[in-house]
Amino acid sequence: MNGLHRGWISAGIGISMAVSCGQAIAGGGLVETNVFYEWRPSVVLAQPGETIDFGLYAVSEDGKSTESISATDVILVWDVDFMEFIQFIDNSPYDWFTTGFPNDSALDGLNNDLDDGDFIYSSFAQFFGGFAEATPEGLLVVTMRYTTGSLTLGTDIEVAATRGNFSQTAILSGDIPGLDIKGRLPTARIRVTTEPYPAGDSNEDGAIDLLDYGDFYACTLVTGEFPFECRFFDYDVDRDVDIMDYAQFQIDFSDQP
Ligand SMILES: [Ca+2]
Ligand SMILES: [Ca+2]
Ligand SMILES: [Ca+2]
């Protein structure tokens, strides 16, 4: 289905899902975690007031096989000072039976207000005609549209494992009824800035070289609040300069004049 939706929609018979899918009890056996969620994009530099579409993908973890999915529950948490939720876009290549925001007012009430920094999104696969399939390349589950707010060195849209007393993020298996097969959960990181600046090039002389390396090293030693001048080196926008950033700095580094 294509289209833009703000509320809960149901294709087919009208149903109301007040209860979100809970974590499965796997009959005393090992709980498999075969599918992980992923944001695309996961790191964004944006201007204030910019609209960004974040695709949420379900990816099969072993990189080879596909995994059958019967339902997904996703808790999103974000900071309303920096990101405003606009709507979800039902643009999955799979035709979900239902997709959207269930009424959970009898539970944690995350969906009583979609603009307060949290909600739980749910989708259910078709009962007949085939479940959804998470592939190694990733199945687009849904797209979440946000607009950026105030300037920030970095803010997150986090997929949270749990929220409140009842709500849980889950991916239910299509092969084993009730089994939660979710793996690791992603965070999208967004820097809101009016100042385009070259990553890695802290003295802005057009080269990423030993002159910048001195600054990079100094930024790795920082403790406490992340300094504005270290923004050049925080490639993954998680408000630190560490080995993850060094990996990209190393790739970009040139000692040529
Ligand atoms: Ca809410
Ligand atoms: Ca430089
Ligand atoms: Ca970093």
What is the tens place of the pLDDT at every residue in 126-174?
Answer: 988 899 999 999 999 999 999 999 999 999 999 999 999 999 999 999 9
Residue 13, pLDDT > 70, answer no
Token code pair at residue 69: 């999915």
Token code pair at residue 58: 């379900």
Token code pair at residue 137: 């390349």
Per-residue pLDDT reduced to its tens digit, 19-68:
333 334 444 445 456 999 999 999 999 999 999 999 999 999 888 889 99
Separation between Cα atoms, residue 119 and residue 129, nearest integer Å: 29
State the pTM of this model: 0.82
What phi and psi values does residue 22 have, to the nearest 5 degrees? Answer: -90, 170
Separation between Cα atoms, residue 15 and residue 20, nearest integer Å: 13
CA of 231 to the centre of ligand 3 (A): 9
pLDDT of 105: 97
Separation between Cα atoms, residue 226 and residue 126, nearest integer Å: 47
CA of 235 to the centre of ligand 3 (A): 6
pLDDT of 161: 98
CA of 220 to the centre of ligand 3 (A): 10
Find, among 24, 13, 20, 63, the residue nearest to 175 by Cα. Answer: 24
Ligand positioned closest to the Cα atom of 203: 2
Ligand positioned closest to the Cα atom of 114: 1
CA of 245 to the centre of ligand 3 (A): 5
Q: Over pLDDT 90: what percentage of the chain? A: 77
Domains and CATH numbers, the chain: 4-192 (2.60.40.680), 210-252 (no CATH)
CA atoms within 13 A on the CB side of 56: 26
Ligand positioned closest to the Cα atom of 254: 2
CA of 105 to the centre of ligand 1 (A): 10
Chain centroid to CA 181: 17
Separation between Cα atoms, residue 198 and residue 141, nearest integer Å: 33
Per-residue pLDDT reduced to its tens digit, 96-111:
999 999 999 999 999 9
Token code pair at residue 226: 């992340």
For the segment 173-202, the average pLDDT, to the nearest whole number, is 91
Alpha carbon separation from 215 to 165, 193, 200, 223, 231 (Å, rounded): 45, 21, 9, 15, 11
CA of 54 to the centre of ligand 2 (A): 32
What DSSP character marks residue 232? G
Separation between Cα atoms, residue 182 and residue 220, nearest integer Å: 33
For the segment 231-256, the average pLDDT, to the nearest whole number, is 90
Identify the residue whose tokens are 């060195």.
Answer: 153
CA of 175 to the centre of ligand 1 (A): 32
Ligand positioned closest to the Cα atom of 202: 2
Which positions ≥6 away from 123 have C-beta within 8 Å? 71, 72, 92, 96, 98, 99, 100, 141, 142
pLDDT of 254: 80
CA of 186 to the centre of ligand 1 (A): 19
The torsion of the CA quartet 64, 56, 90, 149, rounded to 10 degrees, works out to -160
Residue 29's H or E segment, with its range, is none
Q: Which range has the top average pLDDT, 70-74, 126-130, 220-224?
A: 70-74
**What is the chain's alpha carbon radius of gyration, rounded to the nearest angstrom?**
21
CA of 106 to the centre of ligand 3 (A): 40
227, 238 contact by CB (below 8 A): no
Per-residue confidence at 1, pLDDT binned at 50, 70, 90? very low
Among left, alpha and beta (phi > 0; psi -120 to 50; other), residue 123 is beta
Ligand positioned closest to the Cα atom of 153: 3
Separation between Cα atoms, residue 159 and residue 120, nearest integer Å: 10
CA of 100 to the centre of ligand 3 (A): 33
CA of 236 to the centre of ligand 3 (A): 5
pLDDT of 25: 42
